[in-house]
Structure 1
Amino acid sequence: MLHVERSPERFLPRCERVLARYRPLEPVRAAELIQRVLALEPQHCEAAVEQTLSRYSWRHRQLLRIFQRHFEQVRTLLPPDRSEDSLSLKQKLLIGAYFTMEYSIEAAAFFNPSLVPAPDQSGLASDQLRVIFSFRAVGEGHVSSLVFREAMLTQGQLRPEPVGRFADPPESIRMMYPAASLQQLCDQAPLPPELQAQLMRLGLDDLSHAELLGWFHQLPQAEQATWRPQIEALDEGYELRFGDETDLSERVIFPMLEHERNGIEDARFVHFSRPDGSQTYYATYTAYDGRQIQPRLLHTEDFVSFRSYSLRGPGAVNKNLALFPRQLQGRYAMLSRIDGVNNYIMFSERLTHWEQPQLIQVPREIWEFGNLGNCGSPLETPAGWLVITHGVGPMREYALGAILLDRDDPRRLLARLREPLMLPQADEREGYVPNVVYACGSLLHRDQIQIAYGMADRFGGLARVSLSDLLARMTPEPD
């Protein structure tokens, strides 16, 4: 039996990690609430603000600023006889407080981690590696967000870093339209050459919502009527930046778009090497609106600023997309599972457009008959591309497996592990979703495969297995 060593360290959810989110109310009810606040005597208003701050300010960074921001979102509901300038600061703060609520981001579930080397590896010994885990955190209403933890690997042993005190949303959010979407727009609709050139000059990088609207309103009325449906159908993205004072473990990426209002699910981070040798990070994830899913791509250089893009094309469907860590013969490569059952691979010259998926693996073993999927981006080894997989067996039991793809032509399946690499153990099977071990990313460090995995959607951990032992255990595929 292949020896897999599980770390005794566990990553646990923390219910006290709360976001101070905007609390929306129906307009009539909201207006009545504002009127009740404005009817308070000044001393009672001031006392209510002070009491609220004493109970909550230690739980949030810059709570006053949050109250002010939430007041700004409802100021149009002020009574006709009260201008914003007529309100005292305490009245604005108390109104903002009534439109604020705490949301416990990890209260329901905490699972499906991925694992990458941290950008900063300075000051470490040769046997050490600083790593970043991402987790899917689920709170009230089963809404998923993306959170992070940091840790150190020393001789393969895991030492988690302390978790920050706060849970922080981004400091700035910029809605944008990716340049690739603008080019596609120009290809689909006729436009005078001078206007098309103007649009593409604006969109050499990415275009903000305001910039696109500014360009649109410069068009003649007839052109606006032609372009309005195409613009409304454009793929929208966003750019986030967190405050420099925040610790990585405090940064929370909460759903931003209508496409993802019910969740940012199962991010698969990969440390990506560009053709020029520079490094960056991508993560494929599933956006869920409560009814439909949409594959998306997250990009970051430093885990402080992030950009989110939609993935398009006939191959960008279903879940389980995982990007290869470098281009292959000038093209990006991606694992996928377009039919919900089998593993596929596809290639593209564009990072955000995917088509022509090709089948590489079907379920063969009893423990994977239900369906297959990948557990994160492939790991490059001298023997080929190692892919940690998952399979679903009887009683919806999730197990981990492994396959090996040809290094030069990963459409070729070279070998596979016939028995499960990992099954849920007795202390791992009970939780929000029982009988599940699941992973969204691994890394290779000193001949050891380090697998970040979730247990029963309840907590996360790390397992390691020898690369050479794993390869030796795999069964070659017939030619």
Structure 2
Amino acid sequence: MLKIYQPPLKLRADPSRVVVRPFHLPRTPEQDRTKRIFDAVRAMDMRTARAELSIVQRDFGMRHWQTQKVFLHRFAQVATDMGIDTESVREEKRLLIGAYLCHEYSYAAAALMNPSVTKHPDQTGLAPGSMRFVMSLRAVGEGHISSVAFREGIVSEREIQLMPQPPFATAANSHGHLAEDFEGAVTIRRNDDSTLSGTVLFPVTAAQRNGLEDLRITHFTHDDGEGEWLGTYTAYSGREIQSEMLRTKDFHKFDLIPMQGRAARNKGMALFPRMVNGKYMMIGRQDGENLYLLQSDELGHWDDEGIRILGPRFPWELVQMGNCGPPIELDEGWLLLTHGVGAMRKYSIGAALLDKNDPSKVLGRTFEPIISAADEDREGYVPNVVYTCGAIRVGDDLFMPYGVADSSVAFAFVPIKGLLESM
């Protein structure tokens, strides 16, 4: 029987983690509330404006990092949209207008779930056998809006050390459209004064309005040896979904790029960490039930409908299957984590091994789950769910963070040798 090690560490949703976000007021042909507020503050006498600003600073100044900088940035956005010269407004009123058009948002008040993990760009100063990692998390706040949060840490010999979160969280800022011709793509940047563990990526386009869901991130090595971090995720507008890709070389600047093609219409795409036989490859679930191998000549365009490679076979996955993150390269082949849904919509995590040179060939798969929802792992925001968006190899183990009932994140170390023998 496969024995896994599960340390007691768990991460939970935390309503005290808040960021300052733009507050968008409705605008109709009959009424522009933003302009009304703008005009009201401009007309306000300076004594009143300073008094109101003092209240804002007293209430929120100690809860956030550089609130004045955020307020001024928000004021500049609105003034530019309205065609108003920012220098014509005194700084105290600029700050106050910015404050009226922002709000405090608890980005992980409802849930914290569906983690993915990859190696950190900085691997210096570590003891032998240790690895510094970056973990992405799906954080869900008011209105069930999903964002991407990060935690950094070090893993070694089945021990996990998470870097402390800074007292203040900050939202990455949008820096407009990409120079390349990617329709709907945007670039966002981490605040220069914020650590990665204190950074949150929020929806910035109409297609993402209701969430950035389930980032599956991997360190991708191009044929020329250059590396970058690529992650697929689902953009949700509130009505429609589309698959998009996050690209970054340093976790300071992030490009968010919609993927094109018929195969990019579904959730849960996971990218191989390198090209195989001259092709980019993905695992996808094209019919909502089975797993397919997808191929493309371009990272951003996926038109191939794919080859079905795995379908429900065992009782614990009889309802449907999906992938649980990018394939992991081993000497024996590509290790693919999967999830299965069984009776009473109970989720379990399993695995399969794909041929290294021809990933359409399945060399083995687990007869029984690696992890199933049980005991304390059953209860939460969505009961009976265990789910991961990615793991990494650390020594002889698979280091796998996973979501529990869409409410918390737990961790597991799975011995790779035993996992392969269980197939």
For the criterion TM > 0.5, the same-fold answer is: yes
Per the alignment, in what secondary structure is the counterpart of residue 54 of structure 1? helix
2:412 is aligned to: 463
Residue number among 322, 336, 339 corresponding to 1:387 in the alignment: 336
Deviates more, 1:352-361 or 1:169-178: 169-178
Contact 1:9 1:159 in 2 (8 A): no
Paired residue total: 418
CA offsets per residue over residues 162-220 of structure 1, 9 Å max, x none? 012222122451212634x5xxxxxxxxxxxxxxxxxxxxxxxxxxxxxxxxxxxxxxx
Gaps of 5+ in 2: none
Sequence identity percentage: 40
Cα pair distance change 1:335/1:31, threshold 3 Å: same
- For 1:428 and 1:465, the matched residues in 2 are separated by 17
The Cα shift of 1:73 comes to: 3.9
Moved more, 108-117 or 425-434: 425-434
Which residue matches 2:52?
48
What residue identity is the alignment partner of 1:437?
A: V
Matched, 1:423 2:372: yes
Match of 2:9 in 1: 9
C-alpha distance after superposition, 1:32-66 (max 9, x if no partner) = 43454345442222111112112211222221122
Instruction: State the shift of 1:266 in Å.
Output: 0.3
Separation of aligned partners in 1, 2:151 and 2:80 = 40
Higher helix share: 1
1:241 alignment partner, one of 189, 209, 215: 189
Helix, strand or coil for the counterpart of 1:367?
Answer: helix
Kindly tell me: are residues 177 and 286 of structure 1, through their superposed partners in 2, closer, same or farther at Cα, counting changes over 3 Å?
farther
The match for 1:178 is 180
Amino acid at match of 2:383: P
RMSD (Å) for aligned C-alpha atoms:
2.0
For 1:429-468, list aligned pairs within 5 A: 429-468=378-417
Structure-2 residue corresponding to 1:22: 22
Give the secondary-structure state (helix, strand or coil) at the position aligned to 1:110: strand
Out of 106, 120, 123, the position equivalent to 1:121 is 123
Alignment of 1:67 onto 2:71: yes
2:377 and 2:395 map into 1 onto residues whose CA distance is 27
Q: Distance in 2 between matches of 1:144 and 1:278?
A: 31
**Distance in structure 2 (CA, Å) of the matches to 1:300 and 1:131:** 15
Contact 1:177 1:237 in 2 (8 A): no
**TM-score, normalization: structure 1?**
0.83
What is the DSSP-based 3-state SS (H/G/I as helix, E as strand, rest coil) of the residue aligned with 1:68?
Answer: helix
1:71 shift after superposition: 2.4
For 1:131 and 1:358, the matched residues in 2 are separated by 33
Query: Displacement, 1:77?
Result: 9.6
Tell me if structure 2 keeps the 8 A contact 1:288–1:294: yes
Q: Deviation of residue 107 (structure 1)?
A: 0.7
Which of 114, 117, 132 is equivalent to 1:130? 132
Q: Report the Cα distance in structure 2 between the residues aligned to 1:85 and 1:165, rounded to whole angstroms.
A: 33
Contact 1:403 1:413 in 2 (8 A): yes
Q: Does 2:166 align with 1:164?
A: yes
Contact 1:178 1:309 in 2 (8 A): no
For 1:92 and 1:297, the matched residues in 2 are separated by 36
- Superposition misfits of 4+ residues, deviation over 4 angstroms: 82-86
Q: Distance in 2 between matches of 1:328 and 1:83?
A: 54
CA distance in 1 between counterparts of 2:286 and 2:340 reads: 16
Residue 317 to residue 26, structure 1, CA distance change in 2 (3 Å): closer
Q: Which moved more, 1:163-172 or 1:336-345?
A: 163-172
Gaps of 5+ in 1: 182-234, 475-479
Q: Which of 345, 349, 360 is 1:396 aligned to?
A: 345
Distance across 1 between alignment mates of 2:173 and 2:319: 43
Counterpart secondary structure, 2:170: coil
Q: Distance in 2 between matches of 1:126 and 1:94?
A: 52
Secondary structure of the equivalent of 1:91? helix
Would you say the 8 A contact 1:450–1:464 is kept in 2?
A: yes
**In the TM superposition, what is the alpha-carbon distance from 1:406 to its structure 2 partner?**
0.8
Secondary structure, aligned partner of 1:276: coil
Length-normalised TM-score, structure 2: 0.94
| 1:190 corresponding residue in structure 2 | none
